[in-house]
Amino acid sequence: MKPFKAIAPLCIVATLVCAQSAFVAQNVPLFATASDGSALGELIVASQVNVLSQKGEFTEVEFVGFMPEGSTKAYEKIGMLMVGFEAPTPSTYKVIGQKKDEYESIWLNVSVKGFVKTKALKETKASILEEGKAAFQAKCGTCHALHPEGEFDANVWPSILEAMSPQAGLSSAERYSIEKYLQNYQH
């Protein structure tokens, strides 16, 4: 059993590094160094990251996304309110370009690099979204009939969940998990 405990984490890391990308299994702090020190911000559940390297129990990753100028939230796609990373200040991000959306609004293409615990990463998004689906089915139909997943588009679900979270007793982590499931339902 001991060889398995030593080899299993190495296999996970090798898979993630070879894959070059991974998904965050839950909301996790992104650390400036390979330790539990100062956090740059928080990576949000189901967000895709580029895997750069591995150091001990930590993996160096990069999140690349888009944000309106001055925002502290970076989104996965232009014009879609799918939060990928939240920072305390806009200066946390490195601006790597600009793009316009269909309404001619300017979005900054940004990146942020740091370290997460390797165990917080998964190779695919499907199992992460399944957890969001289970939470949606368990929590979001207690006061009323369950809304169909496709009833609202990706930009509407965040405000609906924000309004309903207190009544459903959702933690921040549960809300983001459900939100990501619903936002990815049609995409």
- For the stretch 63-97, pLDDT in tens is 999 999 889 999 999 989 999 999 999 999 999 99
| pLDDT exceeds 90 at position 54 | yes
- Domains belonging to the chain, first-starting first, are 2-122 (no CATH), 126-184 (1.10.760)
| pLDDT exceeds 60 at position 179 | yes
Which residue, 50, 29, 54, is CA-closest to 40? 29
| pLDDT exceeds 80 at position 186 | no
Which residue, 46, 45, 47, 49, is CA-closest to 59? 49
Q: Is the pTM of this model over 0.75?
A: yes
- For the stretch 34-53, pLDDT in tens is 998 889 999 999 999 999 99
